[in-house]
Amino acid sequence: MAISELQLALIGVGAAAVAGVWGYNKWQERKHRQLAERILRGGGQTDVLLDATAAPKGVGATGDDAVIDSTQRVEPVFPPETEVEPLAADASDSPWADPLADGVGRLEFVEAVAAPALWAAQAEWAGHLAKPLNWVAQVGGEWRRLTAHDAGRYTVFLAAQQLADRRGAVSETELTVFAEGVRHLAAQLGGVATVPEVGTMLEQARALDEFCAGVDVQLSINIADPGGTAFAGTKLRGLAEAAGMKLDDDGRYHACDEQGETLYTLGNLGVELFEADSLGSLATHGVTLTLDVPNVGQGARVFDRMVVTARQFAQGLGGVLVDAQRAPLTDAMIAGIRAKIEEIQVRMEARQIVAGSARAHRLFS
């Protein structure tokens, strides 16, 4: 049967369409291959968060002359406490994508991606994560933490899944959701993602949580009347205000530093919280001053200040310093508490978690 001119035209159009699709796919393949090769070669701007050559001396090294292979990712190491070499407290310039506290995935794109598009894409799976997830974007030589309201466009992002906090270590399920979500997001927006193995992140999270649990201590000094007489709320308020403490929404008075960070707190030993409206009628048989050791820098000095405040309260209220069993607190016992604070904070610093630092605040929250 003879082929009509119309059939010949349709065949020609079909062949052209097939060739066009084939050409477009080859172009996309070449673009992504070039991007992947550039990332694997370590080309472009140095990533101070993930670049192995930027790791502090001692991380992954076996001696003074150890050489770090710059083509390999170096994960944080948790050696036995007796073998830890003190390292710099902050290995990165962004506390929101911290290789010690977070599992960090890197996403890179040829063309800049709008932050709202990334934010919408990650919302599909980020809601399944119980631990905090932070996003930062590279702007020149710095990293900017992203929020839902960021309208910028960026080519390099870091996704940081927090590995531990006071609730414990991140779960394997969460890490799987995080790793698969980051890879899917990169593919969805036309980029390439590099994410640590789930097993590696899980091992790091559990080691980190185990260490943090061992130093997560809150030390208190209690004040009570030896005869069992109650303290009046109005008297407590006057003493707290005279000491420069402020009543917070958590029902405790806070002593703060110049930046507004809490140094120690004053709370009720009874069940009632301190509230401005009810302090006038409050009567309590004891109060407690508490120092959150991992979250306060220079803990021994702050403890000394807290002891001075406790003695001022005891004198003003007619009470005495007592321990948790309401036994009198001696000078030797106070010295022992101070030594314990110093010991804990030295151990923390050896693990690159300086008490009172941004890293410590995240892990002990």
Cβ–Cβ contacts within 10 Å for residue 161, how many?
Answer: 28
pLDDT of residue 26: 53
Label residues 310-325 b or e (16+ Cβ within 10 Å = b): beebbebbebbbbeee
Distance CA 144, CA 357 (A): 19
Read off the tokens for 49.
């968060």
What residues in the chain have per-residue pLDDT under 50?
6, 28-29, 31-92
Percent of the chain as helix, strand, coil, to the nearest 5: 40, 20, 40
Q: What stretches of the chain show up as alpha helix (H) in DSSP?
A: 5-40, 115-126, 172-188, 198-215, 233-242, 299-317, 331-350, 358-363
Amino acid symbol at 348: M
Give residues with Cβ within 8 angstroms of 29, minimum separation 6. Answer: none
3-state class of 230 per DSSP? coil
pLDDT of residue 325: 87
- Judge whether 328 and 243 are in contact, CB under 8 Å: no
Amino acid symbol at 203: E
3-state class of 94 per DSSP? coil
CA distances from 141 to 8, 49, 74, 328 (A): 58, 11, 21, 56
3-state class of 365 per DSSP? coil
Which value, in Å, is the radius of gyration of the alpha carbons in the chain? 29
* Selection from 301, 308, 295 nearest residue 365 by Cα: 295
Distance CA 47, CA 24 (A): 32
158: left (phi over 0), alpha (psi -120 to 50) or beta: beta
* Selection from 192, 199, 197, 204 nearest residue 106 by Cα: 192
- Go through the domains of the chain in sequence order and give each one's CATH number: 88-213 (3.30.1400.10), 216-363 (3.30.1400.10)
pLDDT of residue 326: 87
pLDDT of residue 81: 45
pTM: 0.73
